[in-house]
Amino acid sequence: MSQKKYDDIYVVIAAAGCSRRMKQFKPLLPLNDKCILESTLKNFQDAGLHNIITVVGYRKQKMIPILEKAGVFIVENNAYDETDMLESIRLGLQSLPPRANAVFLCPADVALVSPFTIRELIAHHRAFPSAVLLPSYHGETGHPPLFTRPVIEALGDYREDNGMRGVLELFRDDTKILEVPDPEILEDADLPKDYERLKEAAKNRGIPNTQVCEDIWNYVKTPSRVRAHCIAVEETARQLAEEYSAEHNIHIDQKILSRAALLHDIQKGQPHHAEAAADILELMGCCRIAECIRYHKQLPPQLWDTVNESTLLYLADRLVIEDRRVNLSERFRQKAERFAGNPDALACLERDRKTAEHLYEMIRGEKP
């Protein structure tokens, strides 16, 4: 992603406080193979943002090497023990150059927001450049808000007791709520129980639960007939996987397969819909699911002799028309009738048929 595309969008991350409620210093706590601060930074960088300012104070000697390695700009709040997070944010905002038209504000411990959510907030900012944007999940607003230049200036001058809430109240008429399919906008590590929940969410990152799958359907406006098709494909894929695993004692990741099946057609009707859906899932951090989805229309030759989540989805999709289970001969007969008179399409269809029949025989142990 070109850095110039987002050259006017900045990020200020507040990481100066002592984490008194947590009893441990939150930014440096482990989260999968990184610390919390590294995970927070990476989410913005994976979304294509590189103008990142991090405000440090407590234990800054431990944090500065991490931030320098990440290539972010560092601001010091030397009065961290006497000031609140809003003061750290003000210090970060004072470092913004004139070209900064909007800024994300984020505490260091909001570590699992997906790059997709960040990109969607930017897209809405481009459409509504004067709006304050707040992400929301099931009606509850979370992080990171995206503020415009007038709000940035107001935050610098505001000195009332109600802090950022008071500033937002001044811009209430300019505020837009963006409902996103991302429960992690609500998660932080303020308390030990929050940190345990964050660790569990990080462990399962990349495998959305069924509620989030439904949230994704709703967000991209997946039609009911496509949802019904995806549910039928998921049931078929699960059955194929269970039968094959039981007979061959081979592990198939049923959660990856299930979520890939439920989401494989979320961009149906768009050009190159498999790639478009896979790109969305990759931005959501669901890379293994994205790989399955990317190949469900055309399986690469290196997978033709493999039984895994990708090939099971590929076959299951060909055993379902709309929401109805069919055999391969019925499917390809209908397709051939549709493409009659189109030699190129029929040639592609014939390759698809041979691949599907080969996989069917491998997986089911019988000819279709």
Q: DSSP of 298-346, one letter per residue?
A: S--GGGTT--SHHHHHHHHHHTEETTEE--HHHHHHHHHHHTTT-HHHH
* Alpha-carbon span 94 to 83, nearest angstrom: 16
Domain positions in the chain are 3-203, 210-364
Question: Do 3-203 and 210-364 come out as alike in CATH topology?
Answer: no
SS3 at position 22: coil
- The contacts of residue 31 (CB under 8 Å, 6+ apart) are 39, 111, 198, 199, 202
Angle between helices 210-220 and 254-263 (to 10 degrees): 20
CA distance 340 to 216: 36
Query: 61: how many CB neighbours lie within 10 A of its CB?
Result: 7
318, 322, 327, 333 alpha-carbon torsion, rounded to 10°: -80
Cβ pair 72, 33 in contact under 8 A: no
Classify strands 140-141 and 30-31 as parallel, antiparallel or unpaired.
unpaired
- Which one is the CATH code of 210-364: 3.30.470.20, 2.60.120.460, 3.40.50.10320, 1.10.3210.10? 1.10.3210.10
CATH architecture, domain 3-203: Alpha-Beta Complex (3.90)
For the CA atoms of 284, 289, 291, 297, the dihedral, rounded to the nearest 10 degrees, stands at -110
Q: Which amino acid is at 44?
A: F
pTM: 0.94
Alpha helices in the chain (DSSP H): 36-46, 60-70, 85-94, 115-127, 149-157, 163-170, 192-203, 210-220, 224-248, 254-263, 273-283, 287-294, 309-318, 328-338, 343-364
**Per-residue pLDDT tens listing for the chain (368 residues):** 455 789 999 999 999 998 888 889 999 999 999 999 999 999 999 999 999 999 999 999 999 999 999 999 999 999 998 888 888 999 999 999 999 999 999 999 999 999 999 999 999 999 999 999 999 999 999 999 999 999 888 887 777 767 677 778 888 899 999 999 999 999 999 999 999 999 999 999 999 999 999 999 999 999 999 999 999 999 999 999 999 999 999 999 999 999 999 999 999 999 999 999 999 999 999 999 999 999 999 999 999 999 999 999 999 999 999 999 999 999 999 999 988 988 888 999 999 999 999 999 999 988 87
